[in-house]
Amino acid sequence: MNGVKLGQPGVFSPLGKTPEQLLRGILAAEAGAIASSDAFHLNRATVVGQAAALSQPLPESLAHWDCRNNRMLANCCEQIDGQVQEAVNRYGRDRLAVILGTSTSGIEAYENTLWADDDRAPEARSYDYRKQEMGTCALFVAERFNLPGIAYTISTACSSAAKALAAAARLLQQGKVDAVICGGSDSLCRLTINGFDALESYSKGQGAPLTQGRDGINIGEASVLFVMTREAGGVRLCGAGESSDAHHVSAPHPQGHGAEAAMRAALAMARISPQAISYINLHGTGTPLNDAMECDAVFRIFGDRVPVSSTKGMTGHTLGAAGALEAAMCWALLSDSNSELKLPPQRLWGEWDSALAPVSLAQESHRLPRSGAYLLSNSFAFGGSNIALIFSCER
């Protein structure tokens, strides 16, 4: 089997802080982590997917990076610390890289500083602007693990973290490094919520992917870190397909040509046919245009044979972290924790939109095959930045 190995992920999400909690949440298909909040929009309450509070600041030695985005990453760093130390011992520190995706970085910390600056608070005067830079998260993780090698951040909106995984695989395949810490992190902030609302893309209530009358997204937050290596066995990233249709600055191509190209490229890299795919984790944002074009593209390739679902109704759309969060879901589905081989059922908050292409919605009765399962996960972004990832498990 080709591809690269993904170690057990470190997870911090609205559905929990371990892969097992994440698995239970998506299999239950409940939206308990989605709730209304008046903390982010300037004029009204909005529904968001909020993870647990983190009141403990970063250690003094890392205080210049302290913001919620990096505190979430620090939680994930603790979860993968053993894997990182094992890789350091095996390969040496300079043979490890860090590639992460984000779209918000530490913007929330800057927003809080602007509010505080009205009163000339001491924290405003001492604010370190590195906290809000897009490259912050990779540099923070590299410093946290004392890694002197390659460290960079990808920011391509909602495809960022998935592209970080693909870039990590390329580094390994080129032999430039022997292990990569990869994934993504995005924390809630006022900028993105008000921005999506200004674009008329934010749902007025609970986001409802694939349903009739759906009116937009709910934004969530998450951090996920993997240690990726060329080692044999385990859950593997075996295909990645990227495209850039550049149809519109914020709207997807109406027929999903770029999405289709990305999925076909991922199948080609994995050297499998569409018939080999056992489940598709849709990008499934809940906007009218995204769901329509994605179902069209999926149906053209897979017909109505493959069970599909969107998990964003349970976590919110975690933007730059979404590709990594949904990769962690696929990892959990392929792991021994999913002993019953279940799939995340599609929860509909309303009536199925019969105008969509007739893809097969995942049901509680669906099961993965006991061997040879391949899972596909889509991430599509503003500007037509598309990526599809394929995962499998080598036992």
The Cα–Cα gap between 267 and 73 comes to: 31
**Quick check: 50 and 44 in contact, CB under 8 A?**
no
The DSSP element (H or E) to which 331 belongs, if any, is: helix 322-334
Residue 241, both tokens = 């397909």
pLDDT band at 332 (very low <50, low <70, confident <90, very high): very high
CATH number, domain containing residue 301:
3.40.47.10
Asked if 317 is an active-site residue, the reply is yes
- Among 394, 357, 98, 100, smallest CA distance to 270 is for 394
The tens digit of pLDDT for each residue in 188-230 reads 999 999 999 999 999 999 999 999 999 999 999 999 999 999 9
Q: Active-site residue among 283, 295, 330, 393?
A: 283
**Is residue 220 within 8 Å of 16, Cβ to Cβ?**
no
pLDDT tens digits, 376-393:
999 999 888 999 999 999
Q: Where are the alpha helices (DSSP H) in 67-159?
A: 68-91, 107-117, 122-125, 136-144
Residue with tokens 């960079």: 152
Using a pLDDT cut of 90, give the percent of the chain over it.
Answer: 86
| 130-174 residue pLDDT tens | 777 889 999 999 999 999 999 999 999 999 999 999 999 999 999
How high is the pLDDT of residue 372?
95
Q: What is the pLDDT of residues 110-122, one digit of tens each?
A: 788 776 655 555 5
H-helix or E-strand spanning residue 307 = strand 307-309
List Cβ neighbours of 227 (8 Å cut-off, separation of 6 or more).
6, 7, 80, 83, 84, 87, 179, 180, 181
Q: Which of 158, 189, 295, 393 is catalytic?
A: 158
Task: State if pTM tops 0.85.
Answer: yes
Pair of tokens at residue 361:
């919605």
Neighbours of 191 (CB within 10 A): 15
Q: 224-246 burial by CB neighbour count: b if 16+ within 10 A, else e? A: bbbbbbeeeebbbbbbbbbbbbe
- State yes or no: is 41 an active-site residue: no
Q: For residues 373 and 27, what is the distance between their CA atoms, to the nearest angstrom? A: 17
The reported pLDDT for the residue numbered 286 is 96
Query: What's the confidence (pLDDT) of residue 132?
Result: 79
Nearest 10 degrees: CA dihedral of 228, 231, 237, 240?
Answer: 90
Predicted local confidence at residue 246, as pLDDT: 86
Helix (H, G, I), strand (E, B) or coil at 287: coil
The angle formed by the CA atoms of residues 10, 384 and 5, to the nearest 5 degrees, is 30
**pLDDT, position 204:** 95
pLDDT of residue 125 exceeding 60:
no
Instruction: Identify the pLDDT of residue 130.
Output: 78
Q: Pick the catalytic residue: 76, 238, 295, 317?
A: 317
- Contact predicate 319/158, CB 8 Å: yes
Active site residue 283: yes
Q: What mean pLDDT comes out for the span 58-71? A: 94
Residue 45 has pLDDT above 90, yes or no: yes
Task: Judge whether residue 79 has pLDDT over 60.
Answer: yes
Bridging pattern class, strands 151-154 and 10-12: unpaired
Output the average pLDDT for the chain: 94
pLDDT given for residue 112 in this prediction = 80
Q: What is the pLDDT of residues 270-315, one digit of tens each?
A: 999 999 999 999 999 999 999 999 999 999 999 999 999 999 999 9
- Taking only Cα atoms into account, the Rg of the chain, rounded to an integer number of angstroms, comes to 20
Domains: count for the chain? 1
Packing angle, helices 107-117 and 68-91, rounded to 10: 140
Q: Give the domain extent around 211.
A: 4-394
Q: How far is CA 209 from the centre of its chain?
A: 17
